[in-house]
Amino acid sequence: MEAAWATSAAIIMAVTVALIWGWRMLNWLWLRPKRLERLLREQGLQGNPCRFLVGDLKDFLKIQKEARSKPMNLSDDIVPHVFSYIQQSVNKHGKNSFIWYGPIPRVTLTDPELIKDVLNKNHDFPKPNINPAFKLLASGLATHEGEKWSKHRRIINPAFNLEKLKIMLPIFFKSCNDLISKWEGMLSLDGSCEMDVWPFLQNLASDVISRTAFGSSYEEGRRIFELQKEQAELTMKVAMKAFIPGWRFLPTSTHRRMKQIYRDVNVSLKGMINKREKALKAGEATKNDLLGILLESNHKEIQEQGNSKNVGMNLEDVIEECKLFYFAGQETTSVLLVWTMILLCRYPDWQARARDEVLQVFGNNKPDFDGLSHLRIVTMILYEVLRLYPPILGLSRTVDKDMKLGNMTLPAGVQVSLPIVLVHHDCELWGDDAKEFNPERFSEGVLKATNGRVSFFPFGWGPRICIGQNFSILEAKMALSLILQRFSFELSLAYAHAPVTVITLQPQYGAHMILRKVELCNK
């Protein structure tokens, strides 16, 4: 009798669990999305009807695959190539419309005032929960929220202040000068050379971040960089399937490889950090690199706040911040440099103007901090490149509770999408030449160019603006100055224009150019 009761109880329990699970899945995949769709339409927002499980992702992936199958025309109007589905949705449904990211509706916002509100109110509009695939790549400051974000930002800030960047400038020069020497060694007898500069610029940015973050050369850090590069490609591959229930738990070869890379990178970084920690505790002088400054700042935080459980960063926290140094520091600067060189190939008059300015300020001499800070034309060019080819195409934020935004009330459970590249190319915000390369628009600075609106935010905006933006801009100025001092460059016939997103916006087929040695003039 007792056995029969036990069996019956087990069956009832199993059925109850199955019913609860089934109800939750039905609610997540259909009932909740349909309720959110109704609430959004009541706000006057338009979008496609909710489709079970996949939402708009099937169409999104199809259009993305078509775009990647061939190069585009040589034009800076890149939105139809890299952001076509969102553009089509906005054209069809209006500027404040929504798309379906699986069962989650994402409201697209292009109004600078609404964008400003979202990015200013970072506690009301937090980042969505990070895709588990992205966690294997890097998390750290970019993904934290609330008190943990505030604490990490406070500890990391000293590593990126102006005085520390000045100290790092000789490291920038060393890495950039090594690149110049390498290119000079590749020149033929007539002083020219045809090459794909993209891998060289990736290696340059890798070398800089490796030296400035860890005091080691790119050669020593090569394995970590190669692993992180592979991890980024795998992350993009699996990210679009994250909405499939249980997909991330399947032991696919891709998932296994990603976990192996994660373990290998963590072991390498743990060794570096432990070595530094021992030196710090032994009273050795702190090195003026990002890791050294971060560890010193972390120790200071712990001493001031008391050595309790939630004070300062633990080893895992430091590892994740190091991975973010590696990834963000390398990716952002390398893509900024490659698109700058590509655009200066296409607009030789601006290349000549930039070179004249560099030679006027530095002549044959080594660029210094004050001179780099006064490069007006180079700065205008870099801003215009960031406008047309932003490293990250868009940002997303989540709505955890019903939120008033402009004349809308967004229900809890939706997300908002801030399409950087769409806003940067908007003719209503930037004029009829919005899709054209015109650095002159930044001749009086960003504030004047944007009329004070949040219509230019390649590094984000508000409290969570990218902590490394000054690092990246300064490195790009150093590299570009040295390149312009030594070379003129033009696109080769092998160049194919195909911007593509691999986390950041990259040239799908590389950046094939012809470099020519220029005669140095005296200051």
Structure tokens at 208: 């800089």
Q: Low-confidence residues of the chain, pLDDT below 70?
A: 1-6, 131-133, 216-221, 240-249, 284-286, 306-309, 520-523
DSSP-assigned beta bridge partners for residue 193: 515
Dist CA 463 CA 294 (whole Å): 20
pLDDT (0 to 100) of residue 521: 41
DSSP-assigned beta bridge partners for residue 504: 502
pLDDT (0 to 100) of residue 195: 97
List the one residue out of 162, 173, 163, 164 whose CA is nearest residue 207. 173
Contact 460/120 with Cβ under 8 angstroms? no
pLDDT (0 to 100) of residue 456: 98
Residue 458 DSSP code: B
3-state secondary structure of 404: strand
pLDDT (0 to 100) of residue 229: 81
Q: Where are any strands of DSSP class E within 93-191?
A: 98-101, 104-108
pTM of the model: 0.92
DSSP-assigned beta bridge partners for residue 417: 108, 396
